[in-house]
Amino acid sequence: MLDGKNILLGITGGIAAYKSIFLTRELAKLGADVKVIITPDAEQFVTPVTLATLSGNPVLSSFVPEGAGGLWNNHVELGKWADLMVIAPLTANTLSKLASGQSNNLLVATYLSATCPVMVAPAMDLDMYAHPTTHENLDKLRHHGVEVLEAAEGSLASGLSGKGRMQEPEEIIEAIRHHLAPTEQLKDKRVLITAGPTHEPLDPVRFIGNRSSGKMGFAIAKQALRLGAEVTLVAGPVNAELDHPRLNRMDVKTAEEMMAAVAHCYGEQDILVFAAAVADYRPKDVSNQKIKKTPGDAPVIELVQNPDILKFVGQHKKPDQFLVGFALETDQEVQNARKKLDNKNLDMIVLNSLNDAGAGFEFDTNKVTFITSKDVVEIPLKSKDEVAVDIFRQILKLHAES
Ligand code: CTP
């Protein structure tokens, strides 16, 4: 399954390091070429001999290994060689070094110079994991595009019980496989996505709009393409780029244009995800000329309602179509999102809360809750790319259950 993939496995000094012996063995068994880097502290928990035997490669632990005649381990080359760097377990100490850009051992220097994707599996004791500093550091990594495999709950080395255990090797391997060899679970499926804001013109130079960057919608489109789907992306005015042979991109400016683009193709779609921040209202009159200021007078702009595109599609939805909406709420969030789920006849709604730090329009991260008629699933803060992965995981799971 991992034939020909180069995996750089970083092991840091925590008791969970013993599980990384199994991880090394399984990765090698699955055909990956595994190179292990350990921190000096990790050597107290696992021996280089074991890891070298199982990986079939020398274990790397210092910049200039003893007896190597001055030859040094090139951390830049290691990061270029790898298809994926996985740090498991990640201790609080190494986490803080990664978050603050330190480079005083081979592992953290390799992380800092790595150009490959990085995945980390933190493991630490209950209160260390719960500490706000740990959360801030993990959020920082997420913000930098690192995939964080949240610690699991269970009994801990201290005798306490709670969140802090490293994910089991099987879970980590599943995440690695998903990352490196995404299955084409959406092959032959058509997916429609709306993204970005709409701009509602007042005159030739002014408009009413919002701060949506389109990042979430584009991340969803990218993930649908990775999963093999034919994707139609109806995008409001955004700066985002996306190019793919299976992508049909339709650029629009206003809600009415977005409505027309969606109306044209929604019938032939299997999955529809409405991530656009559509303006609910537009100016009633649009001036052909730039509106001049009149001294001593402030104009009153009369607004009219825009079509609710998602509601329209919900009303005309076929039984085998899967419809997902987004909701941005500031109060009574779950309750309000549930109302939208019902009113718009959706299969799932993705709730964004403006109350969550790091979530929302201009961030690269998002914190969402998936709501269906049966379930409320809260997802921790993640990069928008990771949220997109979760959205399709959820859709595929619900599809399989229905
Ligand atoms: N939506 C749409 N067309 C509109 C308005 C919203 O397709 N004219 C979609 C959005 O893409 C999103 C969902 O509907 O998926 C958001 O629902 P909406 O009721 O518009 O949410 P809010 O704008 O947050 O509503 P309200 O202001 O009433 O809370």
Q: Pick left, alpha or beta for residue 69 (phi over 0 → left; psi -120 to 50 → alpha; otherwise beta).
A: left
The model's pLDDT over 29-88, given as tens digits with 9 standing for 90+, comes to 999 999 999 999 999 999 999 999 999 999 999 998 887 777 788 888 999 999 999 999
Average pLDDT over residues 309-336: 95
Both 368 and 346 in one domain: the answer is yes
The model's pLDDT over 284-318, given as tens digits with 9 standing for 90+, comes to 999 999 999 989 989 899 999 999 999 999 999 99
Q: Is residue 19 within 6 Å of ligand 1 at its C-beta?
A: no
Choosing from 57, 74, 210, 345, which is the catalytic residue? Answer: 210
Would residue 210 show up in a list of annotated catalytic residues for this protein? Answer: yes
Q: What is the pLDDT of residue 358?
A: 65
3-state SS, one letter per residue, for the chain: CCCCCEEEEEECCCHHHHHHHHHHHHHHHCCCEEEEEECHHHHHCCCHHHHHHHHCCCCECCCCCCCCCCCCCCHHHHHHHCCEEEEEEECHHHHHHHHHCCCCCHHHHHHHHCCCCEEEEECCCHHHHHCHHHHHHHHHHHHCCCEECCCEEEECCCCCEEEEECCCHHHHHHHHHHHHCCCCCCCCCEEEEEECECCEECCCCCEECCCCCCHHHHHHHHHHHHCCCEEEEEECCCCCCCCCCCEEEEECCCHHHHHHHHHHHHHHCCEEEECCECCCEEECCCCCCCCCCCCCCCCCCCEEECCCHHHHHHHCCCCCCEEEEEEEECCCHHHHHHHHHHHCCCCEEEEEECCCCCCCCCCCEECEEEECCCCEEECCCEEHHHHHHHHHHHHHHHHHHC
Structural domains counted in the chain: 2
Average pLDDT over residues 261-280: 98
- Determine the distance separating the centroid of ligand 1 and the alpha carbon of 278, expressed in angstroms: 6
Instruction: Please report, for residues 220, 235, 262, 331, 379, the alpha-carbon distance to residue 271 in angstroms, rounded to integers and kept in the order given.
Output: 12, 17, 13, 29, 21
Q: How confident is the model at residue 360 (pLDDT cuts 50, 70, 90)?
A: low
**What is the CATH classification number for the domain harbouring 139?**
3.40.50.1950
- Determine the distance separating the centroid of ligand 1 and the alpha carbon of 376, expressed in angstroms: 20
Is 1 inside a domain boundary?
no
Both 173 and 228 in one domain: the answer is no
Average pLDDT over residues 273-288: 97
Whether the per-residue pLDDT at 356 is higher than 90: the answer is: no
Which atom of ligand 1 approaches the CA of 328 most closely? 24
Domain-ending residue, one of 179, 200, 222: 179
Q: How confident is the model at residue 399 (pLDDT cuts 50, 70, 90)?
A: confident
Average pLDDT over residues 3-8: 94
Is 387 inside a domain boundary?
yes
Both 136 and 163 in one domain: the answer is yes
Whether the per-residue pLDDT at 234 is higher than 80: the answer is: yes
Which atom of ligand 1 approaches the CA of 255 most closely? 8
Average pLDDT over residues 383-399: 87
Which atom of ligand 1 approaches the CA of 279 most closely? 8
**What is the CATH classification number for the domain harbouring 342?**
3.40.50.10300
Q: How confident is the model at residue 357 (pLDDT cuts 50, 70, 90)?
A: low
Q: What is the pLDDT of residue 267?
A: 97
Both 76 and 218 in one domain: the answer is no
Both 101 and 233 in one domain: the answer is no
Q: What is the pLDDT of residue 151?
A: 95
Lowest pLDDT segment from 9-18, 69-78, 218-227, 269-278: 69-78
Protein residue with its CA nearest to atom 4 in ligand 1: 308
Backbone torsions φ then ψ of 101, nearest 5 degrees: 75, 30
